[in-house]
């Protein structure tokens, strides 16, 4: 459950960091699954402008596993619905693996920069980035431009092997609004609007920066023309202790 202050911060800044959404025990269980076939089987790499690569694994169904337990977690979904003020469906979820020394940067972009092309008419979309490792400046934590969710969607084009926003316009936005490094303890969740500009720098440290990002769209905003990700149907929420139960099943 979010506080009124957290909702106000999200409305003003386009993001809010919620500490301790998941416990150390839950994070340890998730980390023990980052090499599962469901993750490894879907991994691809995106080159940044310098040619460094970050790996990610993405799926559109919530799935009946420990990651599905996060995407359908009442802690996440209730918060997303409070921020969007309406019911949502699961768009997609992804494991982000930024490996020590080699994990590349993500260029400045808006998620709605891509999702626009998937046929969503409104940017009533939101991501929740859960830190599986402590995210620091050194290992390439997320950076955001505060208040940029109110700028509207910028043009996006190829930057390295990624889709990035019009760089001149982004620099003008940073000059006016600034940028914030979202350092985040493991177990925290960063909720950010589909139009919030974000990027991250390469991981030059000796520590991994792994994260799980769940993305949602408002049920009132189905893509036209049968495009888009996920199934347009209300999420069936998981039990609040579902991650711990997955851990117990594996241990047992
Ligand atoms: O993991 C990161 O550093 C960036 C992720 C990102 O920008 C995205 O998933 O849209």
DSSP 184: B
Q: What is the number of the ligand 1 atom nearest to the C-alpha of 106? A: 4
Q: For residue 249, how far is its CA from the centre of ligand 1 (angstroms)?
A: 31
pLDDT in tens, 165-177: 999 999 999 999 9
- The token duo for 51 is 């040619």
pLDDT level of residue 46 (50, 70, 90 thresholds): confident
CB of 188 closer than 8 Å to CB of 19? yes
Contact yes or no for 98/208 (Cβ under 8 A) = yes
List pLDDT tens digits, range 172-230.
999 999 999 999 999 999 999 999 999 999 999 999 999 999 999 999 999 999 889 99
Structural domains in the chain plus CATH codes: 25-251 (2.60.120.620)
Query: Hey, is 248 helix, strand or coil?
Result: helix
* Helix, strand or coil, per DSSP, at residue 68: helix
User: Structure tokens of 72?
Assistant: 């359908």
Any atom of ligand 1 within 6 Å of the Cβ of 105: no
Rounded to 5°, angle at Cα 41 from 37 and 47: 135
Residue in 122, 110, 111 with CA at minimum distance from that of residue 166: 110
Structure pTM? 0.96
Write down the pLDDT at residue 41: 64
| 236 Cβ contact list (under 8 Å, min separation 6) | 72
* Ligand 1 pocket check for 213: Cβ under 6 Å: yes
For residue range 81-126, list pLDDT tens digits in order: 999 999 999 999 999 999 999 899 999 999 999 999 999 999 999 9
E-state strands within the chain: 15-18, 43-47, 53-59, 88-98, 106-109, 125-131, 142-144, 156-159, 162-165, 180-181, 189-193, 198-200, 209-218
Q: What is the DSSP secondary-structure string of 191-213? A: EEETT--EEE----SSS-EEEEE
Confidence band for 48, pLDDT divided at 50, 70 and 90: confident
Ligand 1 pocket test, pick from 142, 156, 190, 191 with the greatest ligand atom count within 8 Å of Cβ, gives: 142
pLDDT at res. 96:
94
- Rounded to an integer, what distance in angstroms lies between the CA atom of residue 183 and that of residue 197? 16
Pocket test for ligand 1, best of 95, 179, 213 (most atoms within 8 A of CB): 213
Cα 87 to ligand 1 centre (Å): 24
Question: Is the CB of 128 within 6 Å of ligand 1?
Answer: no
- For 241, the 3-state DSSP assignment is coil
CB of 106 sitting under 6 A from ligand 1: yes
| Nearest-angstrom CA–CA distance, 156 and 166 | 6
* Whole-number Å distance between alpha carbons of 122 and 227: 14
Q: Ligand 1 within 6 A of 211 CB?
A: yes
143 lines ligand 1 (CB under 6 A): no
Q: Is the CB of 159 under 6 A from ligand 1?
A: no
Q: Determine the Cα–Cα distance for residues 230 and 228; give it in Å rounded to an integer.
A: 7
Q: What strand order describes the sheet that includes 198-200? A: 106-109, 198-200, 142-144, 180-181
């Amino acid at each position: 459950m979010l506080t009124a202050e957290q909702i106000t911060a999200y409305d003003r800044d386009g993001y809010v960091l919620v500490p301790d959404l998941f416990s150390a025990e839950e994070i340890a269980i998730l980390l023990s699954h980052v090499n599962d076939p469901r993750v490894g089987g879907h991994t691809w790499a995106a080159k940044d402008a310098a040619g460094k690569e970050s790996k990610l694994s993405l799926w559109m169904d919530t799935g009946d596993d420990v990651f599905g337990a996060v995407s359908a977690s009442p802690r996440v979904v209730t918060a997303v619905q409070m921020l969007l003020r309406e019911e949502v469906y699961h768009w997609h979820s992804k494991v982000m693996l930024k490996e020590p020394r080699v994990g590349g940067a993500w260029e400045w972009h808006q998620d709605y920069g891509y999702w626009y092309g998937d046929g969503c008419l409104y940017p009533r979309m939101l991501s929740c980035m859960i830190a599986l490792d402590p995210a620091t400046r050194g290992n390439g934590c997320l950076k955001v431009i505060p208040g940029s969710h109110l700028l509207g969607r910028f043009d996006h084009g190829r930057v390295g092997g990624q889709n990035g926003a019009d760089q001149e316009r982004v620099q003008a936005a940073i000059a006016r609004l600034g940028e914030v490094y979202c350092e985040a303890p493991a177990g925290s969740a960063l909720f950010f609007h589909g139009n919030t500009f974000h990027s991250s720098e390469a991981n030059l440290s000796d520590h991994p920066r792994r994260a799980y990002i769940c993305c949602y769209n408002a049920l009132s905003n189905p893509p036209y023309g049968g495009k888009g990700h996920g199934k347009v149907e209300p999420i069936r929420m998981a039990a609040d202790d579902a991650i711990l139960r997955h851990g117990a099943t594996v241990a047992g």
